[in-house]
Amino acid sequence: MLHYLLNLMATGSLYTQQELAETLAVDSDLIVQMINQLVKLGYLRESEDCATGCESCALHIQCGPRQQLRSWTLTDKGLRAARDV
């Protein structure tokens, strides 16, 4: 299941936690646990887009002054794993 999540994230598409849960047919709490596990294993890292300013962030339309969205990107290790089928 972790590999399938990596493959989804490797497409470059943006997914909400709920969309990932629906796509994988699991509870959204499990998605959080899976993402945390992939971070611990070095396959994902939290994106630093918000540190560079809203204009350059792909999620700036959804984000507001009171809300900061979290996003993750695949590390090199994650990209290699997503390519391995």
Domains of the chain: 2-83 (1.10.10.10)
Strands 72-74 and 44-46: antiparallel
Amino acid 55: pLDDT: 60
CA torsion sign for 18, 20, 22, 24 is: negative
Digit-by-digit pLDDT tens for the chain (85 residues) are 899 999 999 988 888 889 999 999 999 999 999 999 999 999 999 876 554 555 655 555 555 554 556 788 899 999 999 888 5
Amino acid 69: pLDDT: 62
22 contacts: CB under 8 Å, gap ≥ 6 = none
